[in-house]
């Protein structure tokens, strides 16, 4: 079946071609570029236009019947429905487009890469201030160079906004909600919520610590199972904090658990107590999944060493379009 068309119509042809080049990597439609509404109408006479992304001034007084979904490119801030601000980052433009498509019930917008399998990777340590999050993000960034990877931070106080320098429109709370509610189009929802650190996909952590603490173990388990079954990502890295309900159960679902540790009597005592707790609670199976890592000054070396492990060597072979 012939794909629907995604038409970009903008008087700045260079801008339109740049945008089309980026969208072609994400959107599962045939993408066409033009600079006048007459060209749009000619395309519509020959092909079915699913989405028309058109400069606001060009579309003025035109009929929206030319496409299933019409999205206006505005030079100003977004005002009203189905408008996207032209001068913002590509990730923000893509997120806005996907949100509008969800509202308009436009299906199959994103290209789907179905991974043959999805591994859940836990990063956890009973020792505080040991470089856990720095390591988890570095691991994700390096792995994402060769396979689809998602990073999720489950810490009480992640400091994400201060660290990243931006306020995110969506957080892990939204992902949890849609994982419960969404039946058939979760991939597009996730696409709209996703940000990127280089090639590493992430969904921002919750802002309120009490919201994180209130998530039940069943809600967490449903999220993990949903993400694993969807096979959108080859690896999902969970950066665990202490306050997560059902932490032991979530760790049990992970294929591997990386535990940053450090030398010193107090640190060793915390690890000893943690392992003792596991045995007392009948969770000895977790000990077999835990890989202790002592981070050096150059974390990239530690990450590259881990990626040479057997579990990380079958990267590209697991993804099919």
The DSSP bridge partners found for residue 123 are 239, 258
- pTM, two decimals, is 0.79
pLDDT of residue 114: 64
Nearest alpha carbon to residue 226 among 68, 118, 308, 81: 118
Q: Are 78 and 67 in contact (CB under 8 A)?
A: no
d(CA 170, CA 199): 19
d(CA 253, CA 121): 9
Distances (CA, A) of 176 to 154, 184, 222, 264, 295: 12, 15, 9, 38, 32
Nearest alpha carbon to residue 88 among 98, 100, 78: 78
DSSP-derived 3-state class of residue 38: helix
Task: Please give the chain's pLDDT, 321 residues, in tens.
Answer: 567 899 999 999 999 999 999 898 888 889 999 999 999 999 999 888 999 999 999 998 787 788 999 999 988 765 567 899 988 888 889 888 988 888 777 777 876 666 678 899 999 999 988 889 999 999 999 999 988 999 999 999 998 888 777 778 889 999 998 888 765 577 788 888 888 898 999 999 999 999 999 999 999 998 988 888 888 899 999 999 999 999 999 999 999 999 999 888 999 999 999 999 999 999 999 999 999 998 878 888 888 888 887 566 554 444 444
pLDDT of residue 184: 58
Angle 111-35-42 from CA coordinates, rounded to 5°: 80
CA-CA-CA-CA torsion sign (88, 15, 40, 29): negative
The DSSP bridge partners found for residue 290 are 257
pLDDT of residue 179: 85
pLDDT of residue 156: 92
pLDDT of residue 318: 44
pLDDT of residue 206: 94
Q: Are 139 and 303 in contact (CB under 8 A)?
A: yes
Q: Are 138 and 213 in contact (CB under 8 A)?
A: no
Sequence-distant (≥ 6) Cβ neighbours of residue 142 within 8 angstroms: 300, 303, 304, 307
Q: Are 110 and 191 in contact (CB under 8 A)?
A: yes
């Amino acid at each position: 079946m012939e794909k629907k068309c995604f038409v970009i119509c903008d008087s700045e042809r260079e801008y339109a071609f740049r945008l089309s080049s980026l969208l072609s990597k994400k959107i599962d439609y045939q993408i066409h570029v033009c600079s006048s509404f007459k060209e749009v109408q000619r395309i519509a006479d020959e092909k079915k236009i699913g989405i028309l992304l058109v400069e606001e001034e060009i579309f003025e007084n035109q009929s929206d019947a030319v496409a299933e979904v019409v999205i206006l490119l505005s030079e100003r801030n977004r005002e009203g429905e189905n408008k996207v601000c032209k001068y913002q980052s590509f990730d923000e433009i893509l997120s806005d487009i996907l949100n509008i498509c969800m509202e308009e019930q436009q299906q199959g917008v994103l290209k789907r890469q179905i991974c043959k399998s999805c591994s859940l990777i836990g990063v956890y340590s009973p020792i505080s201030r040991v470089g856990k999050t720095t390591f988890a993000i570095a691991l994700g960034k390096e792995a994402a160079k060769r396979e689809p990877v998602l990073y999720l931070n489950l810490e009480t106080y992640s400091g994400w906004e201060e660290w990243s320098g931006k306020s995110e429109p969506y957080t892990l709370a939204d992902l949890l909600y849609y994982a419960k509610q969404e039946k058939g189009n979760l991939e597009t929802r996730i696409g709209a919520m996703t940000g990127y650190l280089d090639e590493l996909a992430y969904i921002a952590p919750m802002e309120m610590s009490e919201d994180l603490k209130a998530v039940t173990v069943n809600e967490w388990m449903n999220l993990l199972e949903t993400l694993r079954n969807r096979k959108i990502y080859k690896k999902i890295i969970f950066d665990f904090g202490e306050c997560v309900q059902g932490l032991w159960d979530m760790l049990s679902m992970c294929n591997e658990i990386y535990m940053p540790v450090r030398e010193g009597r107090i640190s060793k005592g915390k690890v000893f107590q943690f392992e003792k707790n596991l045995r007392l609670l009948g969770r000895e199976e977790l000990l077999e999944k835990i890989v202790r890592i002592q981070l050096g000054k150059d974390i990239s070396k530690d990450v590259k060493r881990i990626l040479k492990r057997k579990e990380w060597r079958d990267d590209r072979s697991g993804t099919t379009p």
